Amino acid sequence: MDHITFLVAMVIVTALAFDFTNGFHDTANAMATSIATGALRPKVAVGISGVLNLAGAFLSTEVARTISGGIVDDSLVTPGMIFAGLVGAILWNLMTWLLGLPSSSSHALFGGLIGAVWVGAGRGGVHFDKVVEKILIPAVASPVVAGLAALAATYLAYRITARAPKDGVSKGFRTGQVASASLVSLAHGTNDAQKTMGVITLALISCGALGHDAGPPVWVVLTSGLAIATGTYLGGWRIIRTMGKGIVDIESPQGFAAESAATAVILTSANLGFALSTTQVCSGGILGAGVGRRLAEVRWSTAGRMALAWLVTLPAAAAVGAVAAGAVVHGGTLGTVLIAVAAVVIAAVIVLLSRRNPVHADNVNSAPTTSVRRSATAHAGA
């Protein structure tokens, strides 16, 4: 029993850590364009987003009973594999944050789990057809839909307001952005905090601390909500800079169009049962909004690097998850401790590297992302 309890405790701690990185990584989705256009001051934006994420965690009553949406065989999943998968997801989230890349936290979590289950339970534990159906197809389709919608909306918005005085127009759309960004934050809280609650609840059920059909206890809801809200409030400024300033020099009508498109896609697909990545939808919307105004303004090199990060996220997190699962499954408690220590060390190194080139509330709107990445790589190599 001791062994199981230790492992379950590790799962809870890593799940909360993942939740934190999730909030931290995804603040940009809702708030990047509002910060870039000046609709909200940076600190205010992350504050609103944090509160709405916490509210979202409490609002959603539907318990994530299957943590994975059928992507892996839940009956074969052990706490050790969940732990390994979470380690993979956290490390990938931190790595992409260091590079300022808006990659998907959901894909990182799914990837980590897939890798861990593949190693821990064999290839049969992963339902690859579900992976294609639930992850790959929405991953390709959703940013395209959001992008096209934002493109058409941006074009219309500029056409309609072409003769109106520019000041009034930007002010009007900036006000609208406050509402659209808040909706994205709330939708994010209901979706992403749920995932962590599901993971912790599953771990508690697997060790017998909870009955089989139990929902998450209040303390799980509270800690998950707080973890994601704290992460959101601290703000992944690097990613906010990339999304707000790196892809397109965004104006308030574009920000409003991008956020409206993201909200529309997230809500309609959640309603029809498609799991998708908030990050990818929001980036798609921003890209579309850039194209809708003037094609040349989109920094395609940044967009390309972002797309590459999307492709790599799932397999990369899976690889880390697989390595971690190997150690946990074969190494027992010692392996688990080693992996935990290794994860903490790598996380600390990433945070230290980020200190050399910090991005925070005061300089989030200043420089385009390219310099972030170059100097980060240079420092890493130095």
Partner 1 sequence: MDVKWGSLGEVAVVSFGATVGVVLFFALGVRALAGRDAARTAGQDGTALTAAAGACFAVCAGAVLYGLYLIIPQFH
Give yes or no for residue 256 binding partner 1 (CB under 8 A). yes
Give yes or no for residue 57 binding partner 1 (CB under 8 A). no
Site for partner 1 (CB under 8 A): which residue of 187, 240, 243, 318?
A: 187
CB 154 within 8 A of CB 251: no
Give yes or no for residue 164 binding partner 1 (CB under 8 A). yes
Between 56 and 100, CB nearer to partner 1: 56
Between 61 and 75, CB nearer to partner 1: 61
In angstroms, give the least distance from the CB of 57 to partner 1.
12
- Neighbour-count burial of 218, counting CB atoms closer than 10 A to its CB (0-12 exposed, 13-18 middle, 19+ buried): exposed
Q: Measuring CA to CA, which residue among 161, 191, 192, 159 is closest to residue 176?
A: 161
> How far apart, in whole angstroms, are the C-alpha atoms of residue 168 and residue 180?
19
Give yes or no for residue 343 binding partner 1 (CB under 8 A). no
In angstroms, give the least distance from the CB of 268 to partner 1.
5
> How far apart, in whole angstroms, are the C-alpha atoms of residue 129 and residue 251?
41
Give residues 116-155 in contact with partner 1 (rule: CB under 8 A). Answer: 129, 132-133, 137-138, 141-142, 145-146, 148-150, 152-154
Give yes or no for residue 39 binding partner 1 (CB under 8 A). no
Stretch of 94-102, 220-228, 257-265, 329-337 contacting partner 1, by CB under 8 A: 257-265
Give yes or no for residue 173 binding partner 1 (CB under 8 A). yes
Helices (H) and strands (E) in the chain, counts: 13, 0
- Neighbour-count burial of 301, counting CB atoms closer than 10 A to its CB (0-12 exposed, 13-18 middle, 19+ buried): exposed
Pure H helices in 60-126: 79-98, 105-121
CB 242 within 8 A of CB 102: yes
Residues engaged in binding partner 1 (CB under 8 A): 56, 59-62, 129, 132-133, 137-138, 141-142, 145-146, 148-150, 152-154, 156-157, 160-161, 163-165, 168-169, 172-173, 176, 179, 183, 186-187, 190, 253, 256-257, 260-261, 263-265, 267-274
